[in-house]
Chains A and B, each alone.
Chain A
Amino acid sequence: MISLDGLLWYYIVVAILFTITCALYGIATRPHIIKKLVLLTIVSDAVYVLLVLMGYRIGATNPPVVPGGVLENPVFPSHKTIVEFMHKVVDPVPQVLIVTAIVIGLAQFVFLVTISMHLAKSTGSFDIRRIEGEKE
């Protein structure tokens, strides 16, 4: 028996995967270079949300910090404290991965936009068919 929470969960995952599929189709078929880069940002954003979704627990109530802010023994916390932390808090490892991915993505898009600006200056257009000489 699937509960309503589970149904909403499946719906969210399927919608994000469908977003990725649509954006990849647009990258493959549309000729304008800047539009291809915009669709590439959408793919990366959807992948970030999908990775955050992997670390979420249904019923969690806190971001990955200690609830209340104070531990009684910070070096060796007791078993009860760790179990309580794990039941109240989402998984912090995917979020740490995505923070680096966002910053690296910014550098990558600056590089790609600079290349396409030089290409437009030398050929006079953003259209990929005109750059390759297939269309006048």
Chain B
Amino acid sequence: MITLIIGAIAVTLALVSAILIVNEKDVLKAIVLAGVESVFFAIALAIFLAPDLLIAYIAIGLGLNSLLFIYALKRGERYEEE
């Protein structure tokens, strides 16, 4: 019961951060917000009892993806134009 409530809160905050990424003009902020969204999905994975996914998901989804995108963003412009 209490674990389902925490899972519902985590999924709601992930939804809010996904909506904010779509409306964001600064791409560096969008990458950091994608890290936050991965944090909330990691809570959901721990709540629904999948510990063997966590060790791969945290290392790849949180660490390597944001590092890779910030490395690529040095080659071009930072802000998105309308």
Contact = CB atoms under 8 A, between A and B. Distances in A.
Interface size class of B (residues with CB under 8 A): 35 or more
* CB-CB nearest 3 A-B residue pairs: A26-B22, A126-B76, A32-B80
Interface in B1-28: 1, 4-5, 7-8, 11-12, 14-15, 18-19, 21-22, 24, 27
Given A99-B52, A99-B56, A30 B69 contact: no
A64 B50 CA distance: 8
Contact of A35 (B30, B38, B48, B53): B30
Given A52-B48, A103-B56, A125 B76 contact: yes
B51 to A, nearest CB: 5
Nearest to A42: B18
Interface of A: 4-5, 8-9, 11-12, 15-16, 18-19, 22-23, 25-26, 30-32, 34-35, 37-39, 41-42, 45-46, 48-49, 52-53, 56, 60, 62-64, 90, 95, 98-99, 102-103, 105-106, 109-110, 113, 116-117, 120-121, 124-127
Given A15-B15, A16-B11, A52-B48, 11 more contacts: A5-B4, A8-B5, A12-B8, A22-B18, A26-B22, A42-B34, A42-B37, A52-B53, A63-B49, A103-B60, A120-B75
Interface of B: 1, 4-5, 7-8, 11-12, 14-15, 18-19, 21-22, 24, 27, 30-31, 34, 37-38, 41, 44-45, 48-53, 56-57, 60-61, 64-65, 68-69, 71-73, 75-77, 80-81
